[in-house]
């Protein structure tokens, strides 16, 4: 038996855990009963006490995995973990879940333990989509202090299902272990993703055909502002099978290089060959674009046709499972079916268009060093016109061809091509998140500020806010995106323009009122009343993930405030420039008072030149935002003359 174990990791601990014997299924220890909080993640609502699995093989070379999970509810917010969902791949009967059992351990008010086993009638199976199904069950009598334990067996037709083991989830894990009894004749690689501060124990006894991975005391990975996909930061081990030799000596090779992946995808009837499929004769859109002299106009017309004519069913992926003819006829389908249909049309129109495998930002990063197909979750169109490159997604109803879709910015993609397959880095190509907000207002004698706001949104923010407006409608859009909880700001008469003109900013105009506070001869007027310069997103003491703004940010605000003749500013907001040492973030503010017309003008601008900051840079970013928000929260203080 030949086994290749390749380790890509910055640090691996050589220490082994002195793990005490694991209690049998259905048993709880006094330590588990007395546990009130997680010592290494004190804010956790629940904790995984145990997550262990063993994978082996059957005589038919099936992949059989037995898994057992044990967790405890620590707070009321953790009661949701009493509802369990298990996913599996039902297509072509590839996977089945059996031997599902669960037990709930509780302690009554008198300290008497009580255990309730799951009623098999409470287990339900549902089909999620054409590929995946789910098993769901709700455990009875779950409350704070409850210990939940469940187990199941996964049986897969082949070892193609050996993908990864995750040690970490959104709640902390006390102990996680995966034992792999390797199928004879299997050649594979593995890749460890982990924080250098967390040790891992890897045991691979020589000549035994086994390997195990174990970690303990793993903090939960929860949502953080402007974070990448949680998957990118989970402690985990990934597997890639490269070759399998049967007992008869027959060899089956799997994708092991990017060139292998390229050939496999282009030869697949569900991807490469689907692009070449004949969709029919006299296709109207092709007849229309045939007379266009510009390749860009042809591309744009086909792109617009697809995204306006087709309905996306919400499913991602890069394979057209049922081909593209069905999607073409029904004008509905998965993202793969829609985008491969669009690629077909682009090529029929004579354009240089190839499929591009991508991983959306919330799906996780793609490692260029490891040719795993499952790193990707979508296929889009990559079009070359002269020296210009365009990335088109037919399910994106708003983003024009000139912009890389925002969910793909700052990602790696793989171009499938017979002549020039390669890894491509996608970025915003100089486009930004740019907003200009201009305020004109008057303070009346009763301390009420009445004014008008003019807001222009350019590039990426144009499509983000336009999407919100289309999705929410005017009333909810005002409530969710224009009001601020800390003030009594009232917005009315919202008017939006330039909805259908990509070359113009998304323009908003609205009237507003907000009150001020009186203190003797003084009147205090809040300045930071608009969400564009809202709450500080970086308040946590530590951060596990990178900060990914997506694109550079450019936000400017001009406020012109007319005050009553009987008042004057006690002190103007200070002129200030706040800037990071590497000049990656800066904030400027300037104030002017014209006593002839009793008007104050305040201009401020926030610029974030670098779209991504690593977790190691978090402390400096946090400090900058703290100083910035302290400055922006300073009110305008007026005094009676």
Tell me the CATH number at 401.
3.10.620.30
Residue 144 located in a structural domain? yes
Q: What is the pLDDT of residues 108-151, one digit of tens each?
A: 777 778 899 999 999 999 988 777 899 999 999 899 999 999 99
Residue 12 located in a structural domain: no
pLDDT digits (tens, 9 = 90+) for 512-545: 999 999 988 899 998 888 776 667 899 888 788 8
Residues 550-560: tens digit of each pLDDT = 999 999 999 99
What is the structure's pLDDT at 246?
Answer: 65
The answer to whether position 473 is within a domain reads: yes
Under a CB-based contact definition with an 8 Å cutoff, are residues 573 and 623 in contact?
A: no
Q: How far apart are CA 440 and CA 585, in angstroms?
A: 27
pLDDT-derived band at 240 (thresholds 50, 70, 90) equals: confident
| Same domain assignment for residues 484 and 416 | no
Last residue of a domain, one of 426, 446, 463: 426
Q: Domain boundary at 426, 451, 472, which? A: 426
* Whether residues 462 and 444 fall in one domain: yes
Which pLDDT does position 4 carry in this prediction? Answer: 31
- CA atoms lying within 13 Å on the CB side of residue 153: 8
378: CB partners within 8 A, 6+ apart? 316, 317, 318, 335, 336, 339, 357, 358, 359, 360, 363, 393
120 and 236 part of one domain: yes
Mean pLDDT, rounded, of the chain: 90
Q: For residues 332 and 360, state if they share a domain.
A: yes
Contacts of 476 (CB under 8 A, 6+ apart): none
pLDDT digits 0-9 by tens, 420-456: 999 999 999 999 999 999 999 999 989 999 999 999 9
Q: 410 with 549, same domain?
A: no
Q: Are residues 407 and 449 in the same domain?
A: no
* 3-state SS track over 99-152: EEEEEEEEECCCCCEEEEECCHHHCEEEECCCCEEEEEEECCCCCCCCEEEEEE
Q: Kindly tell me the burial class for residue 561, based on how many C-beta atoms sit within 10 Å of its own C-beta (0-12, 13-18, 19 or more).
A: buried
In a domain, 262, yes or no: yes
Chain centre distance of CA 605: 28
**What is the spatial distance between Cα 289 and Cα 76, in angstroms, rounded to a whole number?**
60
Q: Which of 218, 251, 284 is the last residue of a domain?
A: 251
- CATH number for the domain harbouring residue 549: 2.60.120.1130
One domain, residues 239 and 126: yes
Does residue 15 fall inside a structural domain?
Answer: no
* CA dist., res. 416 & res. 157, Å (int): 29
Residue 14: its pLDDT value, please? 26
Instruction: Return the bridge partners of 457, or none.
Output: 435, 506
513 and 596 in a single domain? The answer is: yes
Same domain, 133 and 77: yes
Query: Looking at the structure, do residues 240 and 347 belong to the same domain, yes or no?
Result: no
Query: Of 163, 179, 165, nearest to 212 (Cα)?
Result: 179
Greatest Cα-to-Cα distance within the chain, rounded to the nearest angstrom: 99
Say what the pLDDT of residue 249 is. Answer: 66
pLDDT at 637: 92
Judge whether residue 404 has pLDDT over 60.
yes
Closest by CA position to 159, among listed 265, 240, 258? 240
CA of residue 159 relative to chain centroid, distance: 28
pLDDT at 260 over 80: yes
**pLDDT tens, residue by residue, 74-115:** 999 999 999 999 999 888 899 999 999 999 999 877 777 889
280: left (phi over 0), alpha (psi -120 to 50) or beta: left
Number of domains in the chain: 3
Q: What is the CATH number of the domain that holds 171?
A: 2.60.40.3140
Q: For 326-385, what is each residue's pLDDT tens digit?
A: 999 999 999 999 999 999 999 999 999 999 999 999 898 898 887 878 789 999 999 999
Average pLDDT over residues 474-487: 87
Q: Does residue 12 surpass a pLDDT of 60?
A: no
Who's near 319: CB < 8 A, 6+ residues apart?
Answer: 268, 270, 271, 336
Residue 187 pLDDT level (bands cut at 50, 70, 90): confident
Residue 393 lies inside a defined structural domain of this protein: yes
Residues 298 and 213 in one domain: no
Which carries the bigger pLDDT value, residue 257 or residue 600?
600
Does pLDDT of 2 surpass 70? Answer: no
pLDDT band for position 163 (cuts 50, 70, 90): confident
pLDDT at residue 16, as a whole number: 31
Please check whether residue 509 lies inside any domain of the structure.
yes
> What domain range is 399 assigned to?
258-426
pLDDT tens readout for residues 28-85 = 998 999 999 999 999 999 999 999 999 999 988 899 999 999 999 999 999 999 999 9
Q: Give the span between the Cα atoms of 356 and 367, in whole angstroms.
A: 15
How much is the pTM?
A: 0.80
- Residues 343, 228 within the same domain: no
User: Residue 24: inside a domain, yes or no?
Assistant: no
Residues 6+ apart with CB under 8 A from 52: 22, 67, 68, 175, 176, 177, 178, 179
Contact present, 201 and 77 (Cβ < 8 Å): no
């Amino acid at each position: 038996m030949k086994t290749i174990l390749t380790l890509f990791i910055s640090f691996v601990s050589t220490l082994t855990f002195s793990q005490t014997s694991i209690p049998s299924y259905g048993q709880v220890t006094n330590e588990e009963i007395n546990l009130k909080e997680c010592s290494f993640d004190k804010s956790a609502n629940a904790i995984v006490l145990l997550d262990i699995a063993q994978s082996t093989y059957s005589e038919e070379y099936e992949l059989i995995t037995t898994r057992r999970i044990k967790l405890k509810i620590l707070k009321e917010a953790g009661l949701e973990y009493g509802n369990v969902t298990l996913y599996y791949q039902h297509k072509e009967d590839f996977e089945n879940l059996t031997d599902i059992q669960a037990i709930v351990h509780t302690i009554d008010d008198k300290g008497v333990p009580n255990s309730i086993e799951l009623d098999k009638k409470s287990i339900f199976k549902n089909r999620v989509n054409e590929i995946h199904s789910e098993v769901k069950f709700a455990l009875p009598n779950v409350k704070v202090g409850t210990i939940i334990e469940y187990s199941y067996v996964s049986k897969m037709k082949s070892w193609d299902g050996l993908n990864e083991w995750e040690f970490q989830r959104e709640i902390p894990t006390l102990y996680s272990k995966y034992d792999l009894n390797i199928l004879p004749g299997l050649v594979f690689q593995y890749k460890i993703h982990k924080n250098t501060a967390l040790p891992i124990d890897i045991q691979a006894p020589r000549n035994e055909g086994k390997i195990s991975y174990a970690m303990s005391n793993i903090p939960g990975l929860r949502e953080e502002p402007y974070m990448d996909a949680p998957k990118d930061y989970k402690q985990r081990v990934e597997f890639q099978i490269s070759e399998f030799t049967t007992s008869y000596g027959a060899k089956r090779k799997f994708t092991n290089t990017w060139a292998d992946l390229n050939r496999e995808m282009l030869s697949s009837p569900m991807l490469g060959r689907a692009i070449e499929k004949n969709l029919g004769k006299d296709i109207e859109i092709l007849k229309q674009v045939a007379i266009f002299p510009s390749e860009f106009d042809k591309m744009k017309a086909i792109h617009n046709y697809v995204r306006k004519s087709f309905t996306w069913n919400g499913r991602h992926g890069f394979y057209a499972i049922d081909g593209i003819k069905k999607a073409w006829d029904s004008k509905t389908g998965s993202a793969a079916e829609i985008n491969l249909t669009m690629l077909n049309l682009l090529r029929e129109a004579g354009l240089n268009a190839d499929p591009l495998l991508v991983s959306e930002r919330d799906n996780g990063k793609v490692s260029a060093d490891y040719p795993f197909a499952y790193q990707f979750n979508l296929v889009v169109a990559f079009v070359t016109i002269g020296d210009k490159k365009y990335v088109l997604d037919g399910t994106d109803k708003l983003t024009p061809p000139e912009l890389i879709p925002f969910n793909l910015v700052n990602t790696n993609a793989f171009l499938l091509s017979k002549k020039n397959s390669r890894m491509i880095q996608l970025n915003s190509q100089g486009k930004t998140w740019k907003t200009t907000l201009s305020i004109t207002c008057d303070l009346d004698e009763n301390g009420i500020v009445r004014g008008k706001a003019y807001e222009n949104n350019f590039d990426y923010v144009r499509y983000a806010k336009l999407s919100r407006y289309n999705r929410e409608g005017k009333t909810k859009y005002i409530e969710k995106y224009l009001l601020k909880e800390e003030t009594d700001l009232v917005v009315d008469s919202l008017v939006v323009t330039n909805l259908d003109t990509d070359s113009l900013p998304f323009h908003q105009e609205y009237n507003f009122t907000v009150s001020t506070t009186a203190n003797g001869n003084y009147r205090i007027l809040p300045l930071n009343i608009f969400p564009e310069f809202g709450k500080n997103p970086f308040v946590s003491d530590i951060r596990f993930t990178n900060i990914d703004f997506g694109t550079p940010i450019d936000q400017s605000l001009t406020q012109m405030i007319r005050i009553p003749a009987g008042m004057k500013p006690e002190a103007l907001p200070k002129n200030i420039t706040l800037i990071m040492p590497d000049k990656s973030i800066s904030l400027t503010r300037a104030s002017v008072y014209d006593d002839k017309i009793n008007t104050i003008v305040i201009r401020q601008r926030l610029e974030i030149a670098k779209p991504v900051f690593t977790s190691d840079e978090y402390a400096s970013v946090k400090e900058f935002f703290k100083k910035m928000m302290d400055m922006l929260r300073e009110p305008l203080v007026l005094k009676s003359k």
